[in-house]
Structure 1
Amino acid sequence: MMRTCFICLLGLLAWTAQAAEPRPAFSRIVVFGDSLSDTGKMYSKMRGYLPSSPPYYEGRFSNGPVWLEHLNAQFPGLKIANEAEGGATAVAYNKISWHPKYQVINNLDYEITQFLQKESFQPDDLVILWVGANDYLAYGWNSETDAKRVRDAISDAASRIVLNGAKQVLLFNLPDLGQNPSARSQKVTQAASHVSQYHNALLLNLARQLAPTGLVRLFEIDKQFDEMLSEPQNFGLSDTEHACYGGGYVWKPFAASSANEDARLNAFSPQERLAIAGNPLLAQAVTSPMARKVAAPDCEGKMYWDQVHPTRVVHAALGERAAAFIESQYEYLPR
């Protein structure tokens, strides 16, 4: 019902937007998403233990700055409000399951709530939604029905954002999830590829449905990843299959009995430990104290930093491509 009302609302708004400029103006970017966009929110939430830095870079889920931190090169002085958090899902599974792994991990709807508790959307905000990978890779919700539920959560989020004052929403789709080291190691490449492609088809249809309003647009980031996979040499890449950081995919210390490990785990509540263990994409980002003292490995030529997260080189390229797309679709007017 909410999505139907949203489409009707956007249709009405479209009638009043006949004289709008070809490129809508923006002065600030507001981001909601997961570890691909997280610039330290999970790190702060987990009191500096996750992701372990080093070898992870200053609370990012990579070995360097993430894509949105490169946008200032194209838009000097750009203000960014970032609510993206590692492990976040599109769907609020904590509302449909009491499993502990869903009770600590964030979701798209609650990220918006956290933003609105501090400030409000402005008409000149460009709101970016990039989420969904954890729903599929970390928690295995990988059927077409699951993808529709993810699409509905994203649509509802866009509705809430517009109803709260934003005028521009930009959706990012997903890269082919079957191509990363995580899918390869778990032998779910076919299922992961299918669900991400189906997810992208659903988002494309949603964007086309809402296109007449001019309020919701789509950036097909999957095409950027596809280009890197097909022509890696153009991006300084030589290895698109293997992770640079060799941290274990499943975090073992939960079963450890040593005093040192137990003391380290005391930083987490039992609920937090279960939540991290239930999300292997987060679990591998917690390293042993010894590993944290070792310098980050040399990732030259690598596409993936760990089992699922891109290296800083890939993030830099994605930031450049995203900035070019935004510049072509919107006009930047610094506040």
Structure 2
Amino acid sequence: MLSLCLRRRRSPQSSFATCVLPPFRPLRCETLERRHLLASVSLTPIAADDQFSTDEDSVVLGNVLTSDRLDGSVAPGLTLRVAEWNGQPVGSSPIFLPSGAILTVEEDGDFHYDPRTSADLQGLAGGESAVDTFHYTATPQFSQIYVLGDSLSDQGQLFAATAGTFPPDPPYDQGRFSNGPVWVEQAAPGLGLATTLANNFAVAGAASGTENFNESLLGTDLPGVADELDAYLDAYGPTADPQALYVIWAGTNDFFLPFSDPAPVIANAITNIVSHVGNLQARGAQHVLVMNMPDLGSTPYGLSDPVLSGQLSAISQAFNANLAATLDSSGLAITPIDVYGRLEEITDDPDAFGLTNVTEASFDGTQVVLDPSTSLFWDSVHPTQRGHELIADLVLEHLSDQGTVSIDVSGVTTVPTLDARHESGQAGELELWLSADDASINDRNGPFEYTVDWGDGEVQSVQGTAAGVSLTHSYDALPVVTPEIRVRDQDGDSSVALREVVIWGTVGSDRIRIRPDAGGVHVLTLNGETVASLDPTNVDRVVAFGLEGDDFLSAAGSEIAVEFDGGDGRDVVLGSRADDRLIGGLGSRLLELRGDADLIGSVAASRLR
């Protein structure tokens, strides 16, 4: 078997050369499946689907996280948050669902769903139903994120340490070893967090211990990952935050330092990583992500030489297998991220990830030669911004889950209510003022259809607003007529019919009375003559117009609502025990209301009571 060493070449790309050394003892490469066996605690939420029911006129106030939980053992107090609703970030403008209903949401899982904002839902007939659905993404609510690593996570530490000279900008993006934000910058917002140089300690070139690949290249003292951990402890104190998320992604640069036998390098790197995890957890850290090594043999650098590619792939596989086994036996609780496996999926099926180039560098050391937006690699070893985005997606997959909320919306019959007033009552003529109200916000302002069956074979319908309409009708036969009045809203829901009995007096002095009689019947009399026998269960209101003269209008003892208008003259108007409207014209002596409703007397009325 050939041995391998990797030697640095001084160039802005940090490209590499290989040399063949005498044979070293065989490297034991365990099966790749071992990389999935890390001693782990899953931080993936379990987002249970939720179902709510409402009607077309009722708002739903709910919370989608009440039945959700975190999978596995978690620190006390770590809660869940909602990162997205229907793919939109929380805090964005209200979401319009396909039905047209408006959904407003909060990070804590509270939502406000208003079916009244949907014309389709408001058009549901009584007994009909529809289902509105939306999706949400739940993630743990971490207090902060801290990152230890190398150039795959460095968002500007090395750039700051070299006073903005390395890596050169352009073509590298503001200190990143890529053409845009690295994976952790892209993943953090999905967790409600952000990374800066104050919490991302990753420095390009850092090996797992105290060495740094770029140290001799740049002629300056640079940290390894062990030093990054010390820098974190110096900045934040000896105690780790139990609610924070810690990320360790290291080991690759250990193999870019000179070596003859990869086996001890693998062992040493894994020892360092496990030590860092143990150190953090001993100080109180509860949530640690450990990311494994990508396949170095599948990078453009590795693919430049078939022999080199095979050797680098063997190192990557052996490192990942031994990292998994060591962490598994250590008993440390970590969340593993299988970067190797995801990049393998990407290179096997680039189209599925929107890529066309997964083998060549976009930037060749001099110029951009391939579109980075559809390429996996920026230079010979580092991902493009798009490649980092795919790694960020992988991390968020491990730290998030999607739930579905279904809201069953039923159509209801929102019966409009009718208000009818007789504005005047000349002999043989009725003038009605009709108005409406509706509990449905969609129907409240109309249009309404008002219908009057005048009781003599004439039926009149007219469209109008909630404010009302005026209708007038003349009769040939007197003194008693029986109109029936309805109103219907735009959904087709109709009010209960208002059934009336209307009687007119004469221009002289009249006595109009309605009184209970035997068998529950009410008798309506005009000047002592019975003009109608009324069933109180089939009559909603008796309307009487005294016209001119000194009239006596009485419903004393009756349970039927009345509307009595005495007209001008010295009138006495006595109401029933129901909801009445009593009107006295000029010269009225007494208006007496026994139930509820209105008393309307002229300036000459003697008594209102």
Does TM, scored on the shorter chain, surpass 0.5?
Answer: yes
**Paired residue for 1:228?**
346
Matched-pair contact (CA < 8 Å) for 1:55–1:296? no
Specify whether residues 109 and 46 from structure 1 end up closer, same or farther in structure 2 by C-alpha distance, changes over 3 A only: same
Specify whether residues 47 and 296 from structure 1 end up closer, same or farther in structure 2 by C-alpha distance, changes over 3 A only: farther
Specify whether residues 136 and 234 from structure 1 end up closer, same or farther in structure 2 by C-alpha distance, changes over 3 A only: same
Is 1:112 aligned with 2:229? yes
**Paired residue for 1:124?**
243
Specify whether residues 41 and 243 from structure 1 end up closer, same or farther in structure 2 by C-alpha distance, changes over 3 A only: same
Matched-pair contact (CA < 8 Å) for 1:32–1:82? yes
- Alignment coverage as a number of residue pairs: 259
Q: Give 2:386's match in structure 1, choosing from 313, 327, 331.
A: 313
**Paired residue for 2:358?**
240
Is 1:47 aligned with 2:163? yes
Q: Give 2:190's match in structure 1, choosing from 62, 74, 97.
A: 74
Specify whether residues 110 and 245 from structure 1 end up closer, same or farther in structure 2 by C-alpha distance, changes over 3 A only: same
Over residues 209-256 of structure 1, what are the superposed CA-to-partner deviations in whole Å (9 max), with x where a residue is unaligned? Answer: 245x5x323111111100111011111211111111111xxxxxxxxx
Specify whether residues 77 and 129 from structure 1 end up closer, same or farther in structure 2 by C-alpha distance, changes over 3 A only: closer
Matched-pair contact (CA < 8 Å) for 2:144–2:193? no
Q: Distance in 2 between matches of 1:174 and 1:216?
A: 16
Matched-pair contact (CA < 8 Å) for 2:209–2:227? no
* Aligned-pair CA distance for 1:103: 7.1
Instruction: Return the letter of the residue paired with 2:358.
Output: T
Deviates more, 1:217-226 or 1:38-47: 217-226
Q: Distance in 1 between matches of 2:330 and 2:335?
A: 8
Larger radius of gyration between Structure 1 and Structure 2: 2
Matched-pair contact (CA < 8 Å) for 1:183–1:192? yes
Is 1:327 aligned with 2:444? no
Deviates more, 1:70-79 or 1:30-39: 70-79
**Paired residue for 1:62?**
178
Instruction: Return the letter of the residue paired with 1:219.
Output: I
**Aligned residue runs from structure 1 range 91-106, under 5 A:** 91-93=209-211, 100=216, 104-106=221-223
* Aligned-pair CA distance for 1:295: 8.2
Q: Between Structure 1 and Structure 2, which shows a larger proportion of helix residues?
A: 1
Q: Distance in 2 between matches of 1:36 and 1:155?
A: 19
Matched-pair contact (CA < 8 Å) for 2:145–2:193? no
Q: Distance in 1 between matches of 2:189 and 2:369?
A: 26
Specify whether residues 55 and 135 from structure 1 end up closer, same or farther in structure 2 by C-alpha distance, changes over 3 A only: same
Q: Give 1:196's match in structure 2, choosing from 311, 316, 322.
A: 316
Q: Secondary structure, in 3 states, of the residue corresponding to 2:288?
A: strand
Q: Distance in 1 between matches of 2:246 and 2:379?
A: 28
Q: Give 1:133's match in structure 2, choosing from 252, 256, 260.
A: 252
Instruction: Return the letter of the residue paired with 1:326.
Output: L
Is 1:153 aligned with 2:272? yes
Over residues 260-317 of structure 1, what are the superposed CA-to-partner deviations in whole Å (9 max), with x where a residue is unaligned? Answer: xxxxxxxxxxxxxxxxxxxxxxxxxxxxxxx7xx889742421110010001111111
Matched-pair contact (CA < 8 Å) for 1:137–1:192? no
* Cα RMSD after superposing both structures: 2.7
Q: Secondary structure, in 3 states, of the residue corresponding to 1:188?
A: helix
**Paired residue for 1:162?**
281
Is 1:144 aligned with 2:194? no
Calculate the TM-score normalised by the size of structure 2.
0.40
Structure 1 gap ranges (5+): 1-19, 248-290, 329-335
Instruction: Return the letter of the residue paired with 2:155.
Output: T
Instruction: Return the letter of the residue paired with 2:163.
Output: R
Instruction: Return the letter of the residue paired with 1:305.
Output: W
Q: Secondary structure, in 3 states, of the residue corresponding to 2:315?
A: helix
Instruction: Return the letter of the residue paired with 1:22.
Output: G
Q: Secondary structure, in 3 states, of the residue corresponding to 1:307?
A: coil
Q: Give 1:208's match in structure 2, choosing from 314, 328, 341.
A: 328
Over residues 107-128 of structure 1, what are the superposed CA-to-partner deviations in whole Å (9 max), with x where a residue is unaligned? Answer: 1110001111111321112211
Structure 2 gap ranges (5+): 1-69, 79-141, 402-609
Calculate the TM-score normalised by the size of structure 1.
0.70
* Aligned-pair CA distance for 1:326: 2.1
Matched-pair contact (CA < 8 Å) for 2:373–2:385? no
Matched-pair contact (CA < 8 Å) for 2:184–2:195? no
Instruction: Return the letter of the residue paired with 1:173.
Output: N
Deviates more, 1:23-32 or 1:316-325: 23-32
Q: Between Structure 1 and Structure 2, which shows a larger proportion of strand residues?
A: 2
Percentage of pairs with the same residue? 28
Q: Distance in 1 between matches of 2:308 and 2:222?
A: 23
Is 1:22 aligned with 2:72? yes
Q: Secondary structure, in 3 states, of the residue corresponding to 1:74?
A: helix
Q: Secondary structure, in 3 states, of the residue corresponding to 1:82?
A: coil
